[in-house]
Amino acid sequence: MASMINKPYPDSSRNDSGLAFVRIGDGDMMLMFGIAFGYHPHDKTSWRGGKSKLGQDLRTGLAFPKYRYNSKSPFYYEIYDVKRICPFHNFLTMIHQDIKYLTYANLFVNSNYPATKILFRSLIEDQKGKIVLIINNGTNPAKLAELSKWACEILLYPDNGPSMWEDIKLREQAIAKITETAKRYNNRLFAFSVGYLTRVLIHYAWQENPYNRYIDFGSALDEITKNKITRPYQSNPGYYADPTYILHYKTTGQKFDITVSN
């Protein structure tokens, strides 16, 4: 499926159309199906199990008919087969999007992470002052000052998104913050790394203004925004190799290509 991407990022950052990239992982699936998961020291997130408002909103976002807007603002989903939670064909029926906009869940991480780091360096240089960062509020002031040298705006959100999202006042404030920011810009890159909140925040931002690029980079941003290793693949990407989908970032012409090896 990844090979079906026909307008690769970051080429899309140089035109007036929009783009969204959202990764649906096992934690998102567990929220949608009411499955409990324990606290993780890197994500600083847990869920007690049962129905959650965030899980409901994730389902609502997937069911939104995004295929109607592919000509002006394609919405890509990075997915993978989580058989232990939901049969893959059932999962596909939950996503109201053309299949050519479904791609590989680990596109930016694992064995592709070295190429992603090159991509980041290029973006920071080429899009300086045009990047909106959406990261966790645990980022220290010194790091925020450093990031502000190349980001035009930084939005901070709490770590434990599922619990926060249960509070209607906090939820409405979180949605208002991202939608008001999305309205202020056009043709800007919004780089997200706020865990499970990312998926619903991108949905709301994209609905408010489809003419930005909303990219779910997830933990692949951590070395830049936190100055530390938070995942094993960041220090040993070759160990987490997937031979099927390979990411290539070509600095000449700034092409972001995906190839299939089999």
Q: What is the mean pLDDT of residues 98-118?
A: 83
Per-residue pLDDT at 209: 95
Residue 152 pLDDT? 96
Higher per-residue confidence, 170 vs 2? 170
Higher-confidence position of 98 and 154? 154
Q: What is the DSSP letter of 129?
A: T
pLDDT at 40 over 70: yes
Give the total number of structural domains in the chain.
1
Pairing of strands 255-260, 245-250: antiparallel
pLDDT of 199-229, one tens digit each?
Answer: 999 999 999 999 999 999 988 888 888 877 8
Report the percentage of the chain scoring pLDDT > 90.
Answer: 45
- Residue ranges making up the domain that contains 71: 2-260
Query: Which range has the worst mean pLDDT, 24-38, 93-107, 118-132?
Result: 93-107
Positive or negative: CA dihedral 246, 249, 252, 257: positive
**Edge-to-edge strand ranges of the sheet holding 151-157:** 102-104, 75-79, 19-23, 213-216, 189-193, 131-136, 151-157
Label residues 202-223 b or e (16+ Cβ within 10 Å = b). bbbbbeebbbbbbbbbbbbbbb
Spatial contact of 53 and 166, defined as CB atoms under 8 Å apart:
yes
CB 18 within 8 A of CB 211: yes
pLDDT of residue 16: 61
